[in-house]
Amino acid sequence: MRCYAQAILDSEIPIDNHVVVSGIGCSGRVAGYMNIDSYHTTHGRAIPFATGLKLANPDLMVTVFSGDGDLVAIGGNHLIHTARRNVDIKVICINNFNFGMTGGQAGPTTPKGARATTAPYGNPELPFNLMYLLAASGANFVSRWTVLHARQVKQDILNSFSKPGFTFIEVLAPCPVGFGKSNNIEDGLKEMKVYQERCSLVSNGDVRDKDLVIDLRKEKPIYVGKFVDDDRPPYQPTRIL
């Protein structure tokens, strides 16, 4: 949130034109903490709400700030379709690999085998590789960082403001109580150390690499950086004038 606030101040876009929309969940509360126009909507529907805001007033810089459960599980259909349309909104997705606010249930980013309150024997499902999903859906800009990469996150939010079209920044974040505790990453600092030791800057941006699927419990690199930087024209409503 600090990165977002800093990016707003550095953006040269008037503060009054910045609007934040979020859904439901821990990071969904961001809308209530920012001193700008802010909308805390229904679970999963932040992106279509933001679409309405932006299309009805194109002068607004509309950012959606929400979690992986909100954006990818219940809001998954809106996520892919809005990326496909390339609507000019900026999405920041805080990924903590579980439904944190409701107490640590499994979701579409929970690694296979990881434990959750609704997966006491280990998660039987495969998770999404969000970089691949967003690239395939047509987002103009797709990157991944962790909360340890404060400067890069701020810079990418700033970059996304000047990139017309749909942008998506995934930020990995610890959830020591909901996810960490049952998966041997019981404190936040330990997870930050995992980020520090294993994060590796992606070189070729190939989103099909199966190593992009994140599983913090395994000794393998976590690829971060920019995966898509495209210039497809953003969505424009039809005009006959």
8-state DSSP, 233: P
Contact 49, 91 (CB under 8 A): no
Say whether residue 9 binds another protein (CB under 8 A).
no
Say whether residue 196 binds another protein (CB under 8 A).
no
Say whether residue 177 binds another protein (CB under 8 A).
no
**Stretch touching another protein by CB under 8 A, among 35-43, 114-122, 136-144, 150-158:** 35-43
- CA pseudo-torsion sign 188, 191, 196, 200: negative
Q: What's the rounded Cα separation, in Å, for the pair 170 and 219?
A: 21
> Where in 124-143 is the site for another protein (CB under 8 A)?
none
**Stretch touching another protein by CB under 8 A, among 38-46, 95-103, 163-171, 217-225:** 38-46
Contact 123, 99 (CB under 8 A): no
Tokens 């000019």 correspond to what residue? 88
> Where in 68-87 is the site for another protein (CB under 8 A)?
77-78, 81
Least distance to another protein from the beta carbon of 74, Å?
A: 9
Measured CA distances, 144 to 86, 141, 166, 170 (Å): 19, 10, 15, 5
Tokens 């998506």 correspond to what residue? 168
Q: Which of 44, 67, 108, 180 binds another protein (CB under 8 A)?
A: 44
Q: Which of 1, 6, 40, 209 binds another protein (CB under 8 A)?
A: 40
Q: What's the rounded Cα separation, in Å, for the pair 40 and 240?
A: 34
Size of site (CB under 8 A) for another protein = 37
Say whether residue 41 binds another protein (CB under 8 A).
yes
**Stretch touching another protein by CB under 8 A, among 36-44, 92-100, 101-109, 148-156:** 36-44
Say whether residue 50 binds another protein (CB under 8 A).
yes
Q: Which is nearer to another protein, 56 or 189 (CB)?
A: 56
Strands 61-67 and 37-40: unpaired
Say whether residue 94 binds another protein (CB under 8 A).
no
Alpha helix locations (H) across the chain? 2-10, 30-33, 46-56, 68, 76-85, 130-137, 150-161, 188-198
Q: Which of 52, 193, 200, 231 binds another protein (CB under 8 A)?
A: 52
Positions touching another protein (CB under 8 A) are 16-17, 19, 21, 31-32, 35-42, 44-45, 47-57, 59-60, 77-78, 81, 237-241
